[in-house]
Structure formats: structure tokens, C-alpha cells
Structure 1
């Protein structure tokens, strides 16, 4: 029987049965993307929110049907904002990070927000504060008002938040609140740190913080794969720095006696290979789905504990490294797109390799990736398909949209 001293957070593998997950249901922040600000907000296209929410609800329901409890980022944020101290502190910090550069205006916005209830504040902190949403209060204009008069927001929206994988990653019984590579996503991690600090579900006293969003070196959750209770893989990518991997590794070695190795996988530093999980995910004890050709483009390094920094040892090749660290006689690489170069490239654009394992040999994928899904089934993998014609416009799949909080031990 569980006791009050049992940590809630518990992820010791990529494939253990998923018991609890954090999602964010897409909201008004997606309706605030315009072509002019696509690049700044890290989007390639304009999504259709109504359809996107229907698809996301289908995703959440598919997880519930498999026995997983779904927690929503926005609801947990509203919960902690019921505490007056937390509300004042978080609103103040958000506005400081917005660089409004007009002390009087910042104070007026702060007062405006603090008069609202917790659900209203939570929505604004995620969907942003448009200038039209703020009352036209008479005040003396400063130079910054004229310089920024065409920019529509006082608080930027967070359209990438439905990809909850990147801001945070549970490893063992602890949490990484990641340092994002792009400033557009900084507030996502800052809010997650508040949820970790103040929401009782996280049981902070029993769950160490492995990494914090205010660290100098970038680290994102899409690059973190918990291969087993003793081995973590981290992609060294466009979004995750080598130094971030080293710092995380030392924190894990010193804080979790079960974790003995971190495998750093260097992938090409391009948007097409944004994170490790966009080209490679674990789907069973000895099976992995991979984008064709990636195996030959990566370099692999074993990190073990050193006195002040990890000891780094190059490994010969990716497949051999996985067999060695997992203690397996053989592993299978299942090529997305059935291994066909053209099909794989097309389905890679729709995140065919970004699978979410919800049990050993059971994964959630987008239904549009027909060839990749058929290939997985040929290799004995159960595929739970979801609709994703709009969700995919943000360039992420089921794994990107989920932050596992607890899995069964395997």
C-alpha cells in the first residue's frame, strides 16, 4: 500500500505502462498566431483550433482508455494561483520577463491581472495579453510605447505549450525543468517550476530537481529518453547543448543511485532533426523506430561519473551502443516509412517516428503515417492511432505532446 512518503513522479523506462501524464489542451494561444509572427513563435503554419482541440481530446481519451490518468498543465496552473502569495509572485515574475520597459504600465498590468480569478490569470499567462484586452488607461507615453506600438501583445502567447514534453522531463523520481534553447518558450518552463514548487501532486519534498530552467546551458525534453532504470539517452541537438547534458548527467549520478550511465547521441544540428525523439524512439524492450539513414549520421558517447565532470568515452556505433548499455544480445531498428526514402521523408514531416509508448510494444501514433504504422505492426507492435491533421502543424507527434509523470516499473 502506498504511503505519504511515496514519490508520485516515477519514470524508469520509456515503455513501462503509462500511469499518469501531463498534457496541455490547445487554447486561445493558437488563435493568436499570424503569418507575420510564425517564425518568432516557432511555427510553420496556421492551425485550426477547433479541429486541433477535437484531435487533442481524442489523444487524451486514447490514453485514458489504456488506464492512464491525464493531468492538464492549465488546470494545475489555476490550482496554484488560488494561493494569493503564489499569484502575486508569479504574475510579478512573468511581467518582469516580458520586458515591458515602462514601469508605470507594468504596474497597471500587474494590478489588472491580480484582480482576476485564478482561471482567468492562468488563461492569460498561456494565451497572452493582447493590447486590445487591456483597458485604455490614461497614462504618460514613453519612447518604448511609440517604438513598440505596432506589436500586438503585452504578454506573448505560448502556442508551443501543447508540446509538454520539452519543458519538463521526469527521470526516476525527479524532475528536469528544462532550459529552453529559444526565448519564446522560457515562460513554459518558469510556470512548470512554479507547479513543481507549489502543486501538491508533485510532492516536491520527495522528488529532486535534476535541472532548472534558469541554468545557462540548454536542455530540452524531446532529447531525453529513459532507456532503463540505469541508462538515460540524451540527444545533443540543435536544441540541447553538450554542457547541458554533462550537467544533467552529474546531477543524476550524484542524486540517483540507480542511474549509472548517460548516453549522449549527437544528431545533425538542423530543424529537420530538431530533437532525438523526432528521429528515434523506443517502442519495446528491444525495438526502436528510426528515421532511415539517421544511424549513420550520429555519434555516440558514454558518460559515467567523474569527480567534477563526467568521464566521456566514444562508442563505436549507435546500434552497438544500445545493445551494450541495455545488455541485450540484439536489437531491432524499425525504419519509418517502411524504409522507403521518399515515403519516410514524407511521413517524417508528420512525425512518424515520434511515437509515444504506453506499454511495452504498444505505441500511440498519428493515423496519417500509414506506411510507418504498417511497418510497426509487421514487427509485432500494437499501434493506437489518433487523428492529427491539425496537431501536426506545430511539428510534433504524440511523444512531443506528452510529459509522462509515472510509469509502471518493468
Structure 2
């Protein structure tokens, strides 16, 4: 039973609770014509993707990690009828339904789902145009025919639970996603953190709000220690969002003293910081060879007064940055694919450097990244290997597919 407690002060502390989303019928609503709009490069085969995801969840359970599902938590929120009514109005508005006539028809479609979890899955799936027959009205917008196949778009990226929000310390960064197609995803987290009975009792602080003006995504937020946070300024995260998070975290008296803002290339290959850089042990990291640097990093240090900070621009190799701020004598950088070239390019495409630590020196990886996996094992890292022929088609690895809710402190 989810108790609502949140605590994440590292990337590698023993994982106790994690939130996942099992891929659902939203994946079946991907088509070749819509892949670009919905941020996919290929279409996963749902049945096999679910089998692979179930095996992923079983790794956690075998290792003593409590697994909670996004769809289950949201269903528990919607058991309250008053909350459900408010949520439905907001969800339909964010889906772009503006005609009062169509709003009423869509609302009636969703109200037919009496079971709360079935409703949540229907919300995630989207509505195909043939599901609702609109009659004649006096609105031109309602009468104009369109070939677009959906009344409400599906949300196929939801199985990447890392991005819509991130637990940092004992608070939450409720993110504003860069793309419109993913922005609606954060509404589920909003209602879970505001209305779930287990979460409400803990008064969770909010480091970022989905209504804030700048984009930020969870794949760019890494907690390197209880003193140091790394955030990528990337294709999906704005520098101004890092400013806001820094002010709020430093004002709240959290133990964090430094936020490292990594200025990384604004390309899909470097979409998020965690696609090119993850932590697997106290002094060991998986990296894309092209991120070694020299890098431009902005060190944001806590000031003398609440909410104040000092920024220093540095141009250093990744190894030197990590040694300096994590106070390490040396670090191990395990290069995805071993070195720049064919193996690195292929395994980076399949998220070879996007590992998830469930304890220091113990990580979950995709089987297909066999070159990188051999290097990890040679470095003494314990691997839990999962199949990923279908999950990887969404261009995200084990870290992308998981949101740690509670880790033991180191």
C-alpha cells in the first residue's frame, strides 16, 4: 500500500519505492503518420512491450522494491466524485476541446466508465474519431469535417514516467513539458500530489509547477548526492527553469548546496542529460563518449541568505567536474559502446548509457546493449538485464521508464 512518503537524495541509494506505467492501449493508437507528432520513431508491438515491462517490474519486486503504478494512484484519486468532476473539466480543456457541444459529448463518453482505473486508462488511450458521433449543430467548428483520426490524442509516452515530474529530496518538481503532446501528462501527477490521500498528509513541497512559464523535464534532473544536483540545459529544458528550481530549493533549507547546470547540445541524440550520462556507483558513471567534454557547466552555489545563489561558469572535462563537486579522488567513466564509433552510435540509440541504479553498483540495463553491459560487468557492476525489443522503440531506457519515490540515504 502506497504510504505517500517521498525521499530521493541520490541516484544510487537503495531503492525502496518506484512508480511505473504499464504500456496500454495508447500504444495501439500510434500510426506512421502520427509518429512525429507523438514523438516516436517506431511503433512498439503492445503485447510484447507489456511482457517486457512486466519483467522490468518483476526485477524491482525480486529486489525488494515496492512498485506502484501511475494508473492505480490516479484511479485512487478519482474515487472521490468531486475531485473527479474537477479533473474531468480540466483534462478535457487541456485536450483542446472547446465547443460546449463537444465538451458535453466527450464528458458523456468518459462518464460511461464507472470503474476509476478503466476511466484512467481510457483517458490515456485517447478517443478515436469513430468512438463518438457528433450530430449537426449551428457551430461551424463542429460542422467542418476533418481527416484527423482522433478527437483526443493518445498519450503513448506515459511509460516514460521519469519526465513529467521528479522527486528531489522530499519535494517534487512538477514539470512543464517542452512539447504540447506531452504537456498533458503532468496533469496526472498534479492530481496525485494535490489529492491522493496518502500524499496529502505529508505536505510535499513543490520545487517547480507545471504552470510555470519555462520548460523542464525529469530526464534532465539527476541527484548526484545530498549536496549536488545536476540539471541539463537541453533540447527539453530551459535555463530559466533551472533558476526557479535553484531559488526554491535553496530557500527551503534542503541540504543541497550546488546545482550543476550542464549546457548540452540541443539535439534529439542529447535529448535529456540522462540519455548521455547516468550514475551507477559512488564513483562510476555511464556516459556517451561525446559528452566527456570539455563542457560548459554553470555551478549554482547556495548563497548566504535564503533563496540566494552565486553562479560560476566553468569549462572542464566531465571527469574533472565530477571529481571536484563530488569530492572524489578519481572517477570511472564507462563509455557507451566502449569508444566513439559504430558500437557507441548503435547502443546510444538504444539507451546504453541510460541505466537505473537500484543500489550502489547494481543497475538495470537493456540486454541489447551487450558491448556496454560487458564493460559494466568488467567494472564490477551487478547487472539486472531485461529484454527490450519493443520498449526501446520509444527511445528511452530503464531510468526513463521509472520514477523513484523513495531511496535510502547513503
| Band of TM-score, shorter chain | over 0.9
What does residue range 268-283 of structure 1 map to in structure 2 within 5 Å? Answer: 268-283=265-280
What does residue range 6-405 of structure 1 map to in structure 2 within 5 Å? Answer: 8-117=5-114, 118-134=116-132, 136=133, 138-140=135-137, 142-147=139-144, 149-203=146-200, 205-296=202-293, 298-306=295-303, 310-317=309-316, 318-405=318-405
Secondary structure of 2:184's match?
helix
Using structure 2 for the length normalisation, give the TM-score. Answer: 0.95
Give the CA RMSD over aligned residues.
Answer: 1.6
Looking at structure 1, the residues matched to 368 and 60 of structure 2 have their Cα atoms a distance apart, in angstroms, of 19
Looking at structure 1, the residues matched to 294 and 129 of structure 2 have their Cα atoms a distance apart, in angstroms, of 47
Of residues 12-21 and 117-126 in structure 1, the stretch that sits farther from structure 2 once superposed is: 117-126
Point out where structure 1 has 5 or more consecutive residues left out of the alignment: 1-5
User: Deviation digits for residues 169-192 of structure 1, max 9, x if unmatched?
Assistant: 001111111010001011110111
Alpha-carbon distance, 1:383 to partner:
1.1
Using structure 1 for the length normalisation, give the TM-score. Answer: 0.95
Point out where structure 2 has 5 or more consecutive residues left out of the alignment: none
Secondary structure of 2:250's match?
helix
Alpha-carbon distance, 1:279 to partner:
0.5
Q: How many residue pairs end up in the alignment?
A: 404
Secondary structure of 2:19's match?
strand
| Contact 2:233 2:239 (8 Å CA) reproduced | yes
Looking at structure 2, the residues matched to 320 and 200 of structure 1 have their Cα atoms a distance apart, in angstroms, of 45
Alpha-carbon distance, 1:145 to partner:
3.2
Aligned to 1:3: none
Looking at structure 1, the residues matched to 334 and 25 of structure 2 have their Cα atoms a distance apart, in angstroms, of 38
Of residues 317-326 and 53-62 in structure 1, the stretch that sits farther from structure 2 once superposed is: 317-326
Alpha-carbon distance, 1:230 to partner:
1.2
Looking at structure 2, the residues matched to 162 and 7 of structure 1 have their Cα atoms a distance apart, in angstroms, of 21
Alpha-carbon distance, 1:71 to partner:
0.5
